[in-house]
Amino acid sequence: MKTALILGGRSDIGLAAAHRFAAEGYAIQLAARNSATLEGDKADLELRHKIEVQLLDYDALDTAVLRGFVDALQPLPDVAICAVGTMETQADAEADPLLAELTIRSNFEGPAQTLGLLANAFASRGSGTLIGVSSVAGDRGRATNYIYGSAKAGFTAYLSGLRNRLAGQGVHVATILPGFVDTKMTEGMELPGKLTASPEEVAEAIWKAHEKRRNVVYVKPIWRVIMAIIRNIPEQVFKRMKI
């Protein structure tokens, strides 16, 4: 039985991805802080999909123990999906350097270090898929979310470099760019319906990126057009837009 590791297994996207891969017969490793509190989700996955689920304690911010976490994985998964992240308001992150640090470490440092260790293990084996959930916010720095966006830009660039490094070594690396997603993290925000994906839509994009070995996937294809326009606005014009 193949195995999928879900980093950020408590998140709405992480759980949706767990169900999508379990539906294909994958055993699931759900990794999250205080993983014992996910017993209900474990039971649901096992009952619904007739697969095995492991609960693993994982904290992306505790970088000192990440190597031990990866070394202890039994089995080493066939697929690793990183759905780790947090999003604070730009105003709050601007006002509080510790909150800005948390945003950057949660969305870039911890995920990148974890996937880097998994990349080494996958490359030694000669197979596997690494999938990182980044954001269209990383496509260009914008006044309204540049701290979160810069962290995601770093993660997107990291995944691109990792993909280039592992080409020809049997390891595929995919970048998922969801845009707005209707999750607990965005609860209370007014989201534009046509630009907003459900966690299940993101999970489907993750599955297809793995199955079809896609490199960069915009969950809602319209975001590819929108961000291409935003990236190409001249800087003298863009800095007056305050978007």
Catalytic residue numbers?
148
What's the length of the chain?
243
Q: Exposure of 16 by Cβ count < 10 A (0-12 exposed, 13-18 middle, 19+ buried)?
A: buried
**Is residue 38 a contact partner of residue 32, using CB atoms and an 8 Å limit?**
yes
Locate 59 and state its tokens: 């904290």
Q: How far apart are CA 203 and CA 224, in angstroms?
A: 18
Angle, in degrees to the nearest 10, between helices 146-166 and 110-125: 10
Question: From CA 11, how far away is CA 87, in angstroms rounded?
Answer: 13
Neighbours of 47 (CB within 10 A): 9
Rounded Cα–Cα distance for residues 163 and 159 (Å): 6
C-alpha atoms less than 13 angstroms from C-alpha of 31 in its C-beta half-sphere: 23
The label of the residue with tokens 């992150």 reads 93
Q: How far apart are CA 129 and CA 80, in angstroms?
A: 6
What residue type is assigned to position 99 of the chain?
A: L
